[in-house]
Amino acid sequence: MAWMAVLALWLPSAIALEPSIIGFTPDGFRIPQADYAFSFPSDHGSHPEYKVEWWYITGHLKSGAGKSYGFQATFFRFALGAQRENNTPFFPEITSPDFGYDQLYMAHMAVSDCSAKTFFHEERINRGGWDAWSQPSELNVQNGNWSLNASGDSKESADPDMRLRFTVLSDLTLELELIPTKPRVIFGDRGVSVKGPAASARSYYITYPRLRVSGTLTASGTSEAISGEAWMDHEISSSQLSPEQAGWNWAGIQLNDGREIMVYVMRTRDGEADPWSTMAWIDRDGGVRHVGADDFSWHTEGDWRSSKTGIVYPIHARIESLDPETGEPVTLRLEPAFEAQELTGKVGGIAYWEGACRVRNASGAAIGRAYMELAGFDNRRDSLGSLR
């Protein structure tokens, strides 16, 4: 759900639509509908009839020397709309059809060197046709020298292997192969993930909760083999945020017992958890059980203030619910690998915290790994010690 950190800038708030136009936004983009007939591998590609989508991968890696890393790679596509009401382009100075003015591509890349407690990140934005694109028929996304593609002979598979390549400034290069080891899941009711009461506040939310990763990391001209596990989201939407929503806490959790959890709390402006918040447990076979906002809680156990932006983030979290396998209470403590994992918003203007975490149970035993995202905070910090 790293997507949300830029939506407030690029998308209007969700708009309540009349039933007669419930399938489209006022500017003519489609709204996700229940019981959509997904077709893979083509639905891994781009959907330009929707206003925004993103491909998001996070993972935890180790080198042969035992060094630990986390990484985030997010590719965004934003449809600007090819025409204004007066039938002129959004960018009238551009006349070449090869220079796109209808699609904008943003991307965020980050690497957490958990052993050295050092964070590297880079953000960029390009117009479609200017060294950036996404293909509608297959997984093929590019932004400069950053790319995510279905790979080799698996391109025609419904669950293809993937290749991810990116640099972070002149510091690092990662070249990774990602292979799904569990079935893809689609979150939400009847194939739609609903984020609020407005008709447009929804997405198609496709996830590979566990991928095997191998590849190389190159720093200062020296390459080392790395391997580990990753999580991938692909979301398709046209508008998700409601006016009363101020921000969000999200986590993708991989438990050591072979299960995964996706959980998010949509925070309201008065400091409460929005009732559209949700938690989803993924069992060992890929089955999904959703838990409503009344049946889990997200508590803050410690803050960190960024020296770069001044923003205070609640980076130590405790999530409580019932284990769907046993029916017993469960506590999940998210403990950052280190504190300074903030993307500062140099491109796009919105800073957020996105970082590698360890997961511990109530007694402190390590039970898994996670990536956590915290967005919509400012230096006044909402009083959100507990969210339920």
Is residue 343 within 8 A of residue 351, CB to CB? The reply is: yes
Residue 38 falls inside a structural domain: no
Q: Please give the model's pTM, rounded to 2 decimal places.
A: 0.90
CA angle 139/144/149 to nearest 5° reads: 20
CB atoms within 10 A of CB 95: 9
**Among 106, 365, 348, 78, CA closest to 375:** 348
Q: pLDDT truncated to tens, each residue of the chain (388 aa)? A: 554 445 544 444 444 444 334 788 888 899 999 999 999 999 999 999 999 999 999 999 999 999 999 999 999 999 987 433 333 344 444 444 455 568 999 999 999 999 999 999 999 999 998 789 999 999 999 999 999 999 988 899 999 999 999 999 998 999 999 999 999 999 999 999 998 888 888 999 999 999 999 999 999 899 999 999 999 999 999 986 677 777 889 999 999 999 999 999 988 887 777 889 999 999 999 999 999 999 999 999 999 999 999 999 999 999 999 999 999 999 999 999 999 999 998 776 789 999 999 999 999 999 999 999 999 887 434 433 444 3
Question: How many structural domains is the chain composed of?
Answer: 1
Residue 37 falls inside a structural domain: no
Residue 60 falls inside a structural domain: yes
CATH number at residue 307: 2.40.370.10
CB atoms within 10 A of CB 85: 7
Residue 61 falls inside a structural domain: yes
Residue 334 falls inside a structural domain: yes
Residue 79 falls inside a structural domain: yes
Distances from the Cα of 367 to the Cαs of 120, 121, 133, 180, 263, in angstroms?
27, 28, 39, 21, 17
Residue 20 falls inside a structural domain: no
Is residue 62 within 8 A of residue 228, CB to CB? The reply is: yes
List the domain range (segments joined by +) for residue 330.
4-9+43-387
Residue 24 falls inside a structural domain: no
Distances from the Cα of 294 to the Cαs of 147, 290, 318, 366, 383, in angstroms?
40, 12, 16, 27, 20
Scored b (16 or more CB within 10 A) or e, 233-269 reads bbbbbbbbbbeebbbbbbbbbbbeeebbbbbbbbbbe
385: exposed, middle or buried (Cβ count in 10 Å: 0-12, 13-18, 19+): exposed
| pLDDT for residue 23 | 87
Q: Which residues have a Cβ under 8 Å from the Cβ of 149 and sit 6 or more positions away? A: 139, 140, 141, 162, 163
